[in-house]
Every structure is written in structure tokens, then in C-alpha cells.
Amino acid sequence: MTEEADHLDQLEDSVLTHLNQSLILNPEKSYCGSEVFPPSGTGVCLLVNLPCGHQMSSDYVVAWFKYYLKQKETEFTCPRFHEGRGKAKLSYQAICQRISLTPKQREFFEENLSILAARRLCDFKACPGCQSWVERRDHRNLCVYCTLCTANMKRTFFFCWKCKGEWKGRVNYAVECGNNGCGQKVEAPDPLVKCKPEFKQEMLKKEGDDIYPTKDKSPGRKRLALLVNNVDFEYIDDRIGADKDERSMERLLTALGYTVVTLTNLTAQGMTAAMQDFAQREEHLQSDSCFVVFMSHGNATGICGVSTQDKEEDIFLTDEIFKCLNTPNCAGLRDKPKIILIQACRGAMEGSVDVPDSVPMNNIGREHREKDFCCLRSSTPETLSYRNKEKGSNFIQDVVKIFHQHAHQDHIEELFRKVLKEFKEKHRDQMPCKERTTLSKKFYLFPGL
């Protein structure tokens, strides 16, 4: 361990000590007034009273705080929108006073909070040689010494703070090293093909009345996407590899101009709350569309929450997504495309069987109540969806690939058709399924514009 890393450990210990002293944590129970709450993540659906007066399930509160930590924020506000009511800030202390966190949750929060606090108090990076955290004591000098690498390599080891390569050149008070390209930020090429302005102008001129209006890229455009990814389950196998899908989908939606709200490990009650609150977000008024992505285990009934049990299933009904975003319940997205992607099994049957052709049922329903939707599910009814533990699911990875390659010129239903074609040619055991699509016009994403 380097001297700098020891200093960082001491700082983190100090931060954790401060947190624990201020929280007065008890691993068995937590108190809110005189009320005792059972531990979060026990399969018990808890309702938590927040300081702002709202009541919501504990797993949803935990997931919401994780989302804020991902944005490097140590405080968060209640996700529920109430017009004219200010939002009170909530902290880790407030969570611990209301929810008895599991040891794994507590470790996650305290580790991330301490790292965020340390970053604000000192300047440190991981050594490229041994990956231990090293603090730069002198902010004028890019040359940083690592004691651990020096001992391991049996020679003096310095690295460049800027390019993180082994140091070349003058050592003391150096403002640049001798590595080629030092200081030049090298970014991986963006896989998303951008739309050309000429194409957009041509399509609007040619099919303007048949295309959903889209807002031009600007600070005033507030596109939102909700991404729910259930990975860690209490009574069934964890979804190993789902983190790959999460990162891929986040990168795609961000590149398409959406602010992605990612929530992980929700019960059915938590997913319902997430959908209801997402539907009431003020940003939808300044948006032209939205994406909603659910990734979890599933069955013929719906999407599994993380506390699924054999005796009492924790199931979120997909109908709730449409209900929350329909015309009467989501005024901000009225007459705007709402794109839904669901990665989840819908049964236990394999898809690669010969079946007789059948005539699809024509269930139009009340179009004025539920319109402007387009939903693509990862499999047909009663069949399995497949996920690779190393690469992620076939469905999410192929959707991302097709969007990267063709979103600059194809509307959403054509993109979905190409996803289906990809499965027909490469994944014959599974076939995605487009459902409850009520788009009356073509929806072009026009990436980059």
C-alpha cells in the first residue's frame, strides 16, 4: 500500500466514522419516530413516510438514492411531483432513519459516499501499475511516485497524472511528460450514426404530416427515459450479465438525447411507483417523446419484482406502463410517441418449435385513451428470452446495434422490423414481438439533431 493510498484510506475511514456517528446505525432495526421498519430486501413490501409527506415503498427509495449516487450526488429529492410544493432534500441519514438497510446496501452506500467525499477533499487517482489509490500532494507536478509499484518492480516507478502512462522525462515540478499524445483526450468513436440535416429537411418536406413532430436539440428540450433493471433477486437466480445491457442502453439513449433515469432492483410495488412518478415529470411538457425500458425476469403474467417467491409472486403487470402513460394520466406526453422495450421471459416454452399459422386477433380497443405507443418485447407469449452472462441479452444488444446503425434514416417501426429480422436470421430460438402499437404517424429519432 502506498503512502498516498494510506492517506486516502484514513480519509475514507474518517468519512465513514462521521457518517456512522451521525446516523447511529443499528443493524437490526431503524426508527422513524416510534415506528420500527423491517429490513429492506426481505420480501416484505414496506411503505416509508418521507419528510415531504409522501409515502412510498422502501425499495423504490433505495433505488432512487442509488440513481443519484450514480450522478455523483450525495443528496436527492423525493421523486414524486406535486405542483406548487417544494421538494425537500433527502440524505443517507434520512434513509437510515426510515429503512433498515441490508449489510450489502449499507456497504454500497457508505463506500460510494466516502469516495465522493474523498474526491471533494483531495486529488487522487488509481495508479496504472498496481491500481491502488494515490493522492497527488503537489498540484503543480504531474509526476507522481508510487511506493507499491517501486517495491514490486524493484525500480523507481513514476506515472503521469494526466495521461496515466509511466512517466517519461523530467521528474521534479513537471508540467508535461514525454509520452506521445499526453494530455490529448482520446475518445472511443461514437457507434451511433448521426442524422444529416439534409435528410431531416427532405423527410419533413416529403412526409411532414405523417411524421411526429420532434424538437431540435437545445437546452430547452427535456427528453426523459426510464430504465428499470432488476438484477439481484431474493428467491430466484440473479440476472448475471444484465449490467452489460444497462450500460449499453444508457449509452444509446443518452446519445439519442434522453436523460436516463436508471432504477435497479425494484419490487412490483416499486416499479408501479416508478411508472406513476415518471408519468408526472414536468420535463415531459418540454419533450417530444419518451422511452421506457424494463429488464427483469418474467412470466406469462408480467415482469418479476426482486422479491419473487413461489407462494406469493411479486409481479408487475405490463398494463400498468400503458395505464400510467395514457392520455388521461400523462398530459405531458399527450400526442407524443412513447416507446417501450421489455426484456423478460414470458413463459418457459422454447421458441424454436413448428406451430401452425394462426390469424392474429384484432383488438383495437379505445384508441383515444391509449394511443401513440410502440412496444417491443423480447419474446412472443409463453416463450423464453435469452441472456448471455458475459455479453448481455440478445434482445437489448441487438436493439442497440440496430439503432446505432440505422436510426439516422429509419423510423421506429422500421427499426423494430430490422430487430425482428436479425432474430429470424441469427437467434432462431427467440423472436421479439411488437405489441399494443398505436402510432398513427412515423417516429424518426433524427439522432444528433
Nearest to 340 by CA among 349, 330, 348, 350: 330
Angle at 149 between CA 143 and CA 150, to 5 degrees: 80
What does the block give as the cell for 216? 431540435
Q: Which residues pair with 229 in a beta bridge?
A: 264, 295
Q: Could you tell me the pLDDT band of residue 86, with boundaries at 50, 70 and 90?
A: low
Q: Could you tell me the pLDDT band of residue 308, with boundaries at 50, 70 and 90?
A: low
Backbone angles phi, psi at 261, to 5 degrees: -100, 105
Averaged pLDDT score across all residues of the chain: 83
Region 320-342: mean pLDDT is 97
Region 146-159: mean pLDDT is 92
Nearest to 329 by CA among 362, 377, 363, 281: 281
Is 354 a residue whose pLDDT tops 80? no
Distances (CA, A) of 168 to 14, 16, 130, 174, 176: 36, 38, 18, 10, 9
Which pLDDT value is given to residue 184?
61
98-125: burial string, b at 16+ Cβ within 10 Å, e else:
bbbbeeebbeebbebbbbebbeeeeebe
What does the block give as the cell for 382? 409463453
Bigger pLDDT: 182 or 107?
107
The set of catalytic residues is: 297, 345
DSSP string, 279-310: HT-GGGGG-S-EEEEEES-B-SS-EEPTT--S
Domain boundaries, the chain: 3-121, 126-186, 197-349+367-435
CB atoms within 10 A of CB 206: 9
Which pLDDT value is given to residue 13?
44
Q: Are 29 and 36 in contact (CB under 8 A)?
A: yes
Distances (CA, A) of 439 to 113, 117, 330, 372, 435: 44, 47, 16, 4, 11
305-319: burial string, b at 16+ Cβ within 10 Å, e else:
bbbbeeeeebbbebe
**In the block, which residue shows the cell 457507434?**
191
Question: How many Å apart are CA 71 and CA 77, to the nearest integer?
Answer: 13
Nearest to 65 by CA among 25, 30, 104, 108: 108
Is 15 a residue whose pLDDT tops 60? no
pTM: 0.78
**Continuous H helices in 71-227:** 92-98, 103-121, 147-153, 197-207
Region 283-300: mean pLDDT is 96
Is 238 a residue whose pLDDT tops 60? yes
Lowest-pLDDT choice from 175-179, 287-291, 414-418: 175-179
What does the block give as the cell for 224? 426523459
Is 121 a residue whose pLDDT tops 90? no
Bigger pLDDT: 138 or 432?
432
The share of the chain scoring above pLDDT 90, in percent, equals: 58
Q: Could you tell me the pLDDT band of residue 235, with boundaries at 50, 70 and 90?
A: confident
Which residues lie closer than 8 Å to 151 by C-beta, 6 or more apart? Answer: none
Is 138 a residue whose pLDDT tops 60? yes
Lowest-pLDDT choice from 45-49, 142-146, 376-380: 45-49
CB atoms within 10 A of CB 144: 23
Which pLDDT value is given to residue 16?
40
CATH architecture of 197-349+367-435: 3-Layer(aba) Sandwich (3.40)
Is 225 a residue whose pLDDT tops 50? yes
DSSP string, 194-242: PPPHHHHHHHHHHHGGGB---PPSSTT---EEEEEE----SSS---TTH
Region 329-337: mean pLDDT is 96
Distances (CA, A) of 333 to 337, 341, 371: 8, 17, 10
Task: Fold for 3-121, please state it.
Answer: Herpes Virus-1 (3.30.40)
Is 406 a residue whose pLDDT tops 90? yes
Tens digits of residue pLDDT in 184-211: 655 678 899 999 999 999 999 999 999 9
User: First-to-last CA distance in the chain?
Assistant: 49
